[in-house]
Amino acid sequence: MLRIRNVQRPTIEVTREKERGAVPEPGTVVTAKITKLFPRQAAASIVCVGPRAVRDKFTGIIRQQDVRATEIDKVDMHTSFRPGDIVRAEVISLGDSRAYYLSTAKNELGVVSATSDAGAAMVPVSWQEMQCPITGQREPRKVAKVI
């Protein structure tokens, strides 16, 4: 006599935890978009930590003394950055509860992408100027050295 049993086999289900986005930490290099300029600082929205995009919204502040390593007292925020510029910066501290403190004081840090008034992507021509390829107009920036 043949009996067939109804046997249930144990199953294992593997689910991935919700992947956590990148979080800025002191010493990491971030990519940020300048949102506002003030006489002594620039506000930025952090979009990437290293090569990884962030999931949450993080705000950064670049203070006047953190723009360049030399001639700190001669830094003019309006000739270093413009709203909409994309910058590469290093996180120097967690700052306050509202924003991380960022620095562009190293040669490889600063503006990596900017748009001219004509709407074209500007080209770096020196460590302190970018040029519109359409109009030829030059604008001052704290330009990041290409690495």
pLDDT, one tens digit per residue, over 89-99 is 999 998 877 89
* Whole-prediction pTM: 0.82
Domain that holds residue 103: 29-140
CATH assignment at residue 41: 2.40.50.140
Which secondary structure element, helix H or strand E, spans residue 85, and what is its range? none
CB atoms within 10 A of CB 45: 14
Please check whether residue 47 lies inside any domain of the structure.
yes
Task: Record the tokens describing residue 19, joined without a space.
Answer: 């992947």
Confidence of residue 130 (pLDDT cuts 50, 70, 90): very high
Please check whether residue 6 lies inside any domain of the structure.
no
pLDDT, one tens digit per residue, over 38-68 is 999 999 999 999 999 998 899 999 999 999 9
Average pLDDT over residues 119-145: 93
Strands 52-63 and 100-103 turn out to be parallel
